[in-house]
Each structure stands twice: as C-alpha cells, then as structure tokens.
Amino acid sequence: MIASYAPTQQVELNVLIYLLVCKFVYELIKNKFHEVIKIVSLDFNEIRQLLATIANTDIAELTLKSDDFEITVRKAVSFQPQEQFTSTMAGSGMIVSGSSVISTGTPASVPLTDTSGGLDIDKVTNVSHQSLSTSANNSKLLEIISPMVGTFYRASAPGESPFVEVGDCVRSDQTVCIIEAMKLMNEIEAEFSGQVMEVLVENGEPVEYGQPLMRINPD
C-alpha cells in the first residue's frame, strides 16, 4: 500500500510508482516519513523523473535500492549554504546521498544540459586539474566518475573547505564532491579507499554523465 498524502500532490507520484511496480520486481516498505523501494533496475532518466516528482510532494525521505546502487533522498530543510544559494535552494532543495561509479577507461557521455540553477559559483574557490607527482603507473589509478549530468562543486558551500584535496587519503563511502542537478545537491562518495592524485574538474564546472571527476591511487 502506498503512503497516503494529499491527492492533489500525489497523483503523479502514484502513477510513477505504479508504473515501476509493473516494470520491476520490488518490495515497498511503507512509513509516513520514510519509504524504501527495492528495485531490480532503474535508468538515470527514470530516477531523475521520480526525484522531480518527489520534490513537489510531502515525502521527507525516500530510499531507492537495487543490486547496483542505493540512493537516499532527503528534503534539505536545514541546508542553507549562504546567501547566493538561498534564493534558488530555499524551500525546494533536496540532498541526495548516492554513490559514484568506478572506471579505469574512457566512459561514454551524454549531451550536456544546463543544470546550473542560477547558483553563484564566483564565490567558490576554483581549483582544478590538480595533480600529485607519483611514480605509480597511471594504469593503476581508479577514476571517480560522474553518475549524472550536473554542476560540480568541491565544497558544501561557498567559502567552505573542499571535501578533499590532492594528496588527501580518502576512505570508501567518504563524500568527495557534490553535483547539483535539477536543484538537487547530490553527494558523490568514493567506492574505494586510496590517495587523491588528481582533480579533473573545476569547481562550478558543468559535468556530463560518465565524466571522470578525480583519479585515486587505491590502497
């Protein structure tokens, strides 16, 4: 049974969830403020459409699970980065905790779309294409790549310290950057431990799906 909310807000979401039921084998655990959906497969466009619909509902938290990924969506009720972010984020923003994809080759890309959302990136320190000299074979380096189209941010807010710097050691599941897409702040986590050898994208720069963000020398 799907959690009941105001009909005027839930019609579109109910239709989407019904279609997911028909297309995938899943288990829905119902809670008024936190729903968990177990799915077999879900492509990026379907995730993006579902998140856009959830943004207009009263759902406070939603978790999507599959064999390949797990995404938790939470309404960002306390996320107030700074004044230049407030005008575009306040009242409608959400934070998505997701996982990055590991790649050792050149990933495919999709057409880039404008997802800047009016964010003022001039206040954020731009540090990109940084590299750390190493004698290790580059073929041993692993890449953290973008799981979506959006805008790359190294820090949680203007003036804040970057999540990671070149030379830092990161652990598995540690947040290394944020990608803003459709006014959602997506925390990108490392899926392996190691040392940050290179940051490939400038702060505030648009990124494509599958685009390398950082190179890590794994432990």
Domains contained in the chain, CATH given:
7-75 (no CATH), 101-218 (2.40.50.100)
The packing angle between helices 44-54 and 7-23, to 10°, is 160
* pLDDT value of position 76: 61
The better pLDDT of the pair 211, 137 is held by 211
The better pLDDT of the pair 209, 55 is held by 209
- Partners of 130 in the β-ladder: 199
Q: Does the pLDDT of residue 100 top 50, yes or no?
A: no
Q: pLDDT tens digits for 148-190?
A: 999 999 999 988 999 999 999 999 999 999 999 988 899 999 9
Burial of 51 (0-12, 13-18, 19+ CB in 10 A): buried
Q: pLDDT tens digits for 14-46?
A: 667 666 655 554 444 444 444 445 554 566 677
* pLDDT value of position 144: 92
Residue 125 makes CB contacts below 8 A (sequence gap 6+) with 154, 155, 162, 203
Bridge-based pairing state of the strands 184-189 and 94-97: parallel
* pLDDT value of position 85: 41
Distance of CA 152 to the CA centre of its chain: 10
**Rounded Cα distance, 55 and 36, in Å:** 16
Q: Is the pTM of this model over 0.85?
A: no
* pLDDT value of position 136: 44
The mean of the pLDDT values for the chain is 68
Q: pLDDT tens digits for 113-140?
A: 444 444 444 433 333 344 444 444 566 8
Q: Does the pLDDT of residue 10 top 50, yes or no?
A: yes
Lowest mean pLDDT among 56-70, 86-100, 185-199: 86-100
